Structure 1
Amino acid sequence: MKKIISFIICAPLVLASCSKSFIEKQPVSSVAVDVLYKTDKDFQDAVVGCYRTLQSQYQNFWQFGDLRGDDVEEQWTAALDLMRIDNFTADNSETVIASSWQNYYNLINRANTILDKIKDADVAVVKNKDRHIAEAEFLRAIAYFDLVRIFGDVPMLTAPISSDDALKKGRDKVDAIYNEVIIKDLLDAAGRLPAKYTGSDVGRATSGAAKAMLGRVYLTRKDFPKAEAVLQEVTTMGYALLPNYNDLFDYTKDEHHSEYIFDIEYEEGIGLGSIFTSNFCPFVAPVMTFYGVTGSTGNHGSPTAKLFAAFPDGDKRKDITVARGVTDANGVFTPLPAGFGMQAFTKKFMTPMKTSNDSRANWKVIRYADVLLMYAEALNENGKTPQAITYLNQVHTRAGLTAYGDMPQATTREDIYLERRLELSYEGVRWFDLVRTGRALDSMKPVGMKTYMTVFPLPLGQIQIMNDPSIFPQNEGYN
């Protein structure tokens, strides 16, 4: 296979078996493509290469899903790149935009190669053929789903491609990518993937994860009947809310609990930790000591005053979501120092950490509370408001709040939107919720958003490499 030199980043053949279960083992040596895809383990290792690409990409996904929205802001003025994302002055030269494009197409290229090589594989040799196909499809679907939500129209590639052909491949319409790749991949993956794993495979994509993501896709497309149907299936698959919301963010406990559906998995101490604890922790001694955080920290991603104010009295989620200091075992509150550049932080990723940027905190891609709220939204939009309130209340009352009674459809819609805001802060959801529900401009115009900024600019490097606006134009407003 030729190495692709344009917008596709050719996947280095550095693959791993893993486990945190499956992400823990270190990469094996590079090998030639022609001899790599032979055995079941070859394909399993290749699939792990796709997961590892998401490990890199999701370290910064909060910049798209949270920082861009109204609940997170960059108060640390030295972080100019983050401030530009926050205040809508980012341009096509931003590092996070270029690296995200590369990461997603790296994953897509790896998945396409797996799917191309495995199609003729003998099931007697590749005994988990169906699972490998389904995992590659699931991960490719996530990559394309993120790409179209971040950039809009992008090149749609479903097979390995030569460098010459890559330079001729223009942008495909979002609708085509949803219909021809994202939805098809998730439907097929949902039918092939196992419902659960045991042992070292725990953490891999399941049929429940594929169906939950498909529900999110349908909701984004405003296909509420299909969203209702598939999300209803997920509610029958054995998932359940944890009784205590805060346990979701206690990383000393098993993260593969009843509410878990799909995370990006990280593990400390072996070079596979996340940056989340370092990123969001204030570089303030009382805070770092309280949580056992060692090394330098970033002071990034402060919750906004609007998010503080959005929590009603008695909401048990508030304390771990937003904070202005720490309270010790004796009840003594220590605020962040006056004049310190960061005046608020989230506790959702606070966990003991021995080395900078080496946290065990996972990134939650989708969990069961999200499914319940999406299902409630779909039911409500389909005119089944009383049923919608039932599922909304499962999440609402878990937070210690009084259950909603009968409400009209419009009121229920707004309450579901609010519940998603409070439940899923710092989980990469808020900005995309604002965009898909048509509320982004009203919310963000005061801080600089313009009409065309529902998507980000394409990376400057890709525009320059393609150098053909007839097939690869920059997004409107960013020229």
Structure 2
Amino acid sequence: MKKKLLNFSCIMVIMALFVTGCSKILDKKPIGEIDASTIDDPNSGGSITAAEAEQLLSGAYNDMYWDGEEYWAFDRTTNGDAMADNAYAGSDNPANHAIDLFTTNSLNGNVERNWSRLYTSIGKLNETIDKVSKATDAALPPERRNQILGEARALRAINYFELVRLWGDVPLILQPIVTTNTKTIFESVAIPRAPVAVVYDSIIVDLEYALTNVRNVNEVPLKQIISKGIVNTMLAKVYATIEPHDWDKVNQYCDAVIADGYTLLPDYDFLFDGQHKNSSESIWEITYEGWGSGTYGLWIKDMYIGGGWPKFNTPSHDLVRAFEAEGDDVRFNSSIQWVDYSGQWVDPYWPMNNLPLINKVRGGDISNFIIYRFADILLLKAEALTELNQLDDVSGAQFYLNKIRNRAGLANTTATTQADLRLAIEKERQLELAFEGYRWFDLQRTGRTLAVMQNAKKANNEPLNYPIQQFRLLYPVPQNEIDRNPRLTQNPGY
């Protein structure tokens, strides 16, 4: 796997060593990052130009989409599907196997990489927000400055949403790390974990600011640029996750996304065939075609399909059985391909002459990567209406659930009670959104993780007997981060 230098981790090392700067380590800047040496000091009075403001935002996007594609296009699937019952770790990576088998500890390399990746992006976004908010260049009109700030704050909120769902309490860093004196570095980075509720408050404040200032869906050039559609989607997902859930808010923001004009594609397979990129169903989609050498999109595909070496996140028996029990041939065939790799390697769960692999990344020479799409919102709308006890098939929960089922060629749901609809929507989300990083977090926010994972089965319905306990519903804080930050505590149980 690729290993990249992470600026935030660099700063953490500096703190630990009590040195006064890291200019030599940071000489190599990511695409779009400007030389901020004259304005690192908040007392210096420096200000950036309009062009530099645009470069900062571009650098923040590139940091997530290029340097961060290992998280958004790969680790996010491991966290959302392999840790749940949709997939096994596959591959020959011990860190992935530990995540899959619930034997993860604080030395796990993938867990460390996820933490570092998300905080690296937050560090760049904090820098962007700070410097753009202070910009006085007349060539940067207030409307565009506020758009840049809105996009950056939405991206910061998205990174914190990932962090808080994986670790619970996390350090909440909302200001750039000043690199001009050691005391400031230490005080800025060596901070304790903020309570989950405080982190969510910050996420919502950022998203509400973004919603007021970012562009409408039809005004952004590509779906990888933050629009009101993405922000409304995030707000719906946040309010479905926070405790207590706010279903009125979920319903409100789902309606806002629906009003933005997204539509389901007529054929489910269009989402993954490589011929319908940035479609009407896509809300947030990373576009790799035309970027650099194009290796990013190719690398994504190589993780999941093709021969030669064990592939990551192989579909599980539980998921295959769920497709078969529902008679869901459309999504089954679109989501999973079966291959004969006899003699290439050994899989612990499947025969090599009939091995399932993820099929959703097959389309085209270079894969885009969809993070959020409209089907998710329609199912969240159905879930909100279920909890609000609006269950009918005319405008209630059944209506929105049936939209998703009918597109897959399935009959209307037979679920009519609130209890039955909860389980029907859970199953529909599993089948519709398989391998898109949703399943673990769906089980977490509905309180169903332990019940589902303790019932996971392999071939012939043999129990998998995962050693999952309550404390393993959150990741451990990486040990190297605790070593660097004396105020950082470990999650209980680790």
Are the structure 2 counterparts of residues 104 and 306 from structure 1 closer, same or farther at C-alpha, using a change threshold of 3 Å?
Answer: same
Q: Which residue of structure 2 lines up, in the alignment, with residue 79 of structure 1?
A: 93
Are the structure 2 counterparts of residues 30 and 129 from structure 1 closer, same or farther at C-alpha, using a change threshold of 3 Å?
Answer: closer
Q: Tell me, yes or no, if the aligned pair for 2:263 and 2:280 is still in contact at 8 Å.
A: yes
Aligned-partner Cα distance in 2 for 1:225–1:28: 40
Of 269, 279, 283, the match for 1:261 = 283
Please say if 1:380 is aligned against 2:392: no
Q: Tell me, yes or no, if the aligned pair for 1:4 and 1:166 is still in contact at 8 Å.
A: no
Greater shift after overlay, 158-167 or 419-428? 158-167
Deviation, 1:272, is 5.2
Q: Which residue of structure 2 lines up, in the alignment, with residue 38 of structure 1?
A: 48
Q: Which residue of structure 2 lines up, in the alignment, with residue 54 of structure 1?
A: 64
Of 438, 441, 450, the match for 2:469 = 450
Q: Which residue of structure 2 lines up, in the alignment, with residue 289 of structure 1?
A: none
Q: Tell me, yes or no, if the aligned pair for 2:361 and 2:367 is still in contact at 8 Å.
A: yes
**1:337-394 deviation line (CA, Å, top 9, x unaligned):** 37842421111112454xxxxxx22332211000000111011101111111111111
Deviation, 1:109, is 1.2
Deviation, 1:200, is 5.1
3-state SS of 1:262 partner? strand
Q: Which residue of structure 1 lines up, in the alignment, with residue 257 of structure 2?
A: 234
Aligned-partner Cα distance in 1 for 2:261–2:14: 39
Of 226, 250, 254, the match for 2:273 = 250
Q: Which runs of 5+ in 2 are unaligned?
A: 1-7, 16-21, 40-45, 178-183, 348-354, 455-464
Deviation, 1:30, is 5.5
Amino acid at match of 1:67: A
Aligned-partner Cα distance in 2 for 1:304–1:83: 14
**1:43-77 deviation line (CA, Å, top 9, x unaligned):** 2221122222322231322121111000100244x
Q: How does 1:356-435 map to 2 (within 5 A)?
A: 360-386=366-392, 387-404=396-413, 407-435=416-444
Are the structure 2 counterparts of residues 472 and 406 from structure 1 closer, same or farther at C-alpha, using a change threshold of 3 Å?
Answer: closer
Aligned-partner Cα distance in 2 for 1:230–1:220: 14
Aligned-partner Cα distance in 2 for 1:266–1:12: 26
- From the two aligned structures, give the one with the greater helix fraction: 2
Please say if 1:108 is aligned against 2:122: yes
Greater shift after overlay, 194-203 or 271-280? 194-203
Deviation, 1:170, is 0.7
Are the structure 2 counterparts of residues 351 and 254 from structure 1 closer, same or farther at C-alpha, using a change threshold of 3 Å?
Answer: closer
Aligned-partner Cα distance in 2 for 1:207–1:14: 34
Q: Which runs of 5+ in 1 are unaligned?
A: 17-26, 284-295, 326-334, 354-359
Of 142, 148, 157, the match for 1:132 = 148
Aligned-partner Cα distance in 1 for 2:132–2:364: 42
Deviation, 1:194, is 0.9
**1:111-165 deviation line (CA, Å, top 9, x unaligned):** 1111111223237321310110011101000110000111111100111243121
Aligned-partner Cα distance in 1 for 2:28–2:221: 20
Q: Which residue of structure 1 lines up, in the alignment, with residue 457 of structure 2?
A: none
Q: Tell me, yes or no, if the aligned pair for 1:7 and 1:102 is still in contact at 8 Å.
A: no
Q: Which residue of structure 2 lines up, in the alignment, with residue 337 of structure 1?
A: 342
Q: Tell me, yes or no, if the aligned pair for 1:389 and 1:404 is still in contact at 8 Å.
A: yes
Deviation, 1:189, is 0.8
Deviation, 1:266, is 2.3
Deviation, 1:182, is 0.6
Please say if 1:153 is aligned against 2:133: no
Please say if 1:459 is aligned against 2:452: no
Amino acid at match of 2:104: A
Q: Which residue of structure 1 lines up, in the alignment, with residue 352 of structure 2?
A: none
Q: Which residue of structure 1 lines up, in the alignment, with residue 359 of structure 2?
A: 347
Q: Tell me, yes or no, if the aligned pair for 1:190 and 1:207 is still in contact at 8 Å.
A: yes
Q: Which residue of structure 1 lines up, in the alignment, with residue 193 of structure 2?
A: 171
Deviation, 1:7, is 7.7
Are the structure 2 counterparts of residues 323 and 28 from structure 1 closer, same or farther at C-alpha, using a change threshold of 3 Å?
Answer: closer
Q: Tell me, yes or no, if the aligned pair for 1:71 and 1:306 is still in contact at 8 Å.
A: yes
Tell me the TM-score normalised to structure 1 length.
Answer: 0.84
Deviation, 1:206, is 0.4
Of 436, 450, 463, the match for 1:441 = 450
Aligned-partner Cα distance in 2 for 1:50–1:453: 32
3-state SS of 2:284 partner? strand
Deviation, 1:324, is 2.2
Of 83, 94, 104, the match for 1:68 = 83
Q: Tell me, yes or no, if the aligned pair for 1:278 and 1:298 is still in contact at 8 Å.
A: no
Tell me the TM-score normalised to structure 2 length.
Answer: 0.82
Greater shift after overlay, 364-373 or 112-121? 112-121
Q: Which residue of structure 2 lines up, in the alignment, with residue 308 of structure 1?
A: 320
Are the structure 2 counterparts of residues 81 and 31 from structure 1 closer, same or farther at C-alpha, using a change threshold of 3 Å?
Answer: same
3-state SS of 1:447 partner? coil
Q: Which residue of structure 2 lines up, in the alignment, with residue 6 of structure 1?
A: 12
Count of aligned positions: 435
Aligned-partner Cα distance in 2 for 1:152–1:3: 20
Aligned-partner Cα distance in 2 for 1:460–1:205: 34
